[in-house]
């Protein structure tokens, strides 16, 4: 009888032990949280299909064209326009940007680095906004030097800063580095693209320091997410 009781006790212990061990085992580690990135190019472009025009008229894309086809459009938290991309090589003199590579080279930019030097078009992704005129004053749309912008071309997004100002009648220009990162020929003499570029600039934004592209990306992704959610 004692033998039967002992065998029964051993059998019961064997049945209980696996579940006890399982409950005592440490839980598998949780999968690491995915890093939150900004919206896709398609998500941003979907918010720019209609235009609430705020410019007093339209801009030309180049000096040698007569048609004025580009309007500046207002949105919740941003303004945007759809244009071409001419190459700005102004600022610090580099191998890519100098008097020999660019017939119209200037050794300064409207906005400067934190150390007071001009921006480097060859290194820093930045865009050019038209100088203030009766057509549009960028400052009236809460834009300023160092402001955050998303530049979209061929399914790619480049987060850039407002780094320079250009002619009062022309729109659609960005630095050598912006074009290169987007897969556009960055050569200031024969590069750029004639169409297909969307510029979205976020109101009341500042990338600091202006020359820190890593900060421009993180700031831009955050603002772009808010733009998509609020429009």
Give the pLDDT confidence score for residue 211 in this predicted structure: 98
Average pLDDT over residues 205-221: 98
- Beta strand 156-166 with 126-130: parallel, antiparallel or unpaired? parallel
Residue 14 above 80 pLDDT? no
Contact assessment for residue 67 and residue 219, using Cβ atoms and an 8 Å cutoff: no
The β-bridge partners of 112 are 118
| Strand ranges inside 55-179, DSSP E | 73-75, 78-88, 126-130, 148-153, 156-166, 173-175
d(CA 85, CA 199) in angstroms, rounded, equals: 10
Give per-residue pLDDT as tens, 61-103.
Answer: 999 899 999 999 999 999 999 999 999 999 999 999 999 999 9
Q: Is the pLDDT of residue 118 over 50?
A: yes
Residue 143 has pLDDT above 60, yes or no: yes
| Average of per-residue pLDDT values in the chain | 89
pTM of the model: 0.84
**Which two three-digit tokens encode residue 216?**
């421009």
The greatest distance separating any two alpha carbons of the chain, rounded to the nearest whole angstrom, comes to 109
pLDDT confidence tier of residue 229, bands split at 50, 70 and 90: very high
Report the DSSP pairing between strands 148-153 and 126-130.
unpaired
Residue 88's closest CA among 115, 106, 71?
A: 106
| pLDDT for residue 147 | 98
pLDDT category of residue 36 using cuts at 50, 70 and 90: low
- Alpha-helical runs (H) found in the chain: 2-24, 41-46, 176-181, 213-230
Residues 108 and 179: their CA atoms lie apart, in Å, by 19
Tell which residue, 89, 50, 112, has the closest CA to residue 188. Answer: 89
Tally Cβ neighbours within 10 Å of residue 184.
24
């Amino acid at each position: 009888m004692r033998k039967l009781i002992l065998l029964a006790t051993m059998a019961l212990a064997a049945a209980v032990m696996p579940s006890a061990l399982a409950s005592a085992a440490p839980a598998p580690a949780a999968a690491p949280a995915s890093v939150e990135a900004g919206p896709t190019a398609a998500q941003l472009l979907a918010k720019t299909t209609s235009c609430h025009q705020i410019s007093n008229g339209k801009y030309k894309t180049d000096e040698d064209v007569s048609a004025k086809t580009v309007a500046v459009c207002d949105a919740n938290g941003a303004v945007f326009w759809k244009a071409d991309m001419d190459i700005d090589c102004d600022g610090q003199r580099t191998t890519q940007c100098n008097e020999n590579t660019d017939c119209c080279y200037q050794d300064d930019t409207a906005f400067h680095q934190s150390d007071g030097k001009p921006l480097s078009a060859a290194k820093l992704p930045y865009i050019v906004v038209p100088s203030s005129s009766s057509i549009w004053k960028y400052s009236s749309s809460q834009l300023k030097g160092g402001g955050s912008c998303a530049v979209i071309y061929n399914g790619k997004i480049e987060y850039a800063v407002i780094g320079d100002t250009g002619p009062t009648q022309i729109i659609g220009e960005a630095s050598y580095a912006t074009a290169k990162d987007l897969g556009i020929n960055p050569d200031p003499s024969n590069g750029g693209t004639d169409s297909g570029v969307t510029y979205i600039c976020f109101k009341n934004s500042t990338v600091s320091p202006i020359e820190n592209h890593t900060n421009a990306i993180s700031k831009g992704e955050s603002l772009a997410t808010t733009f998509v959610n609020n429009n």
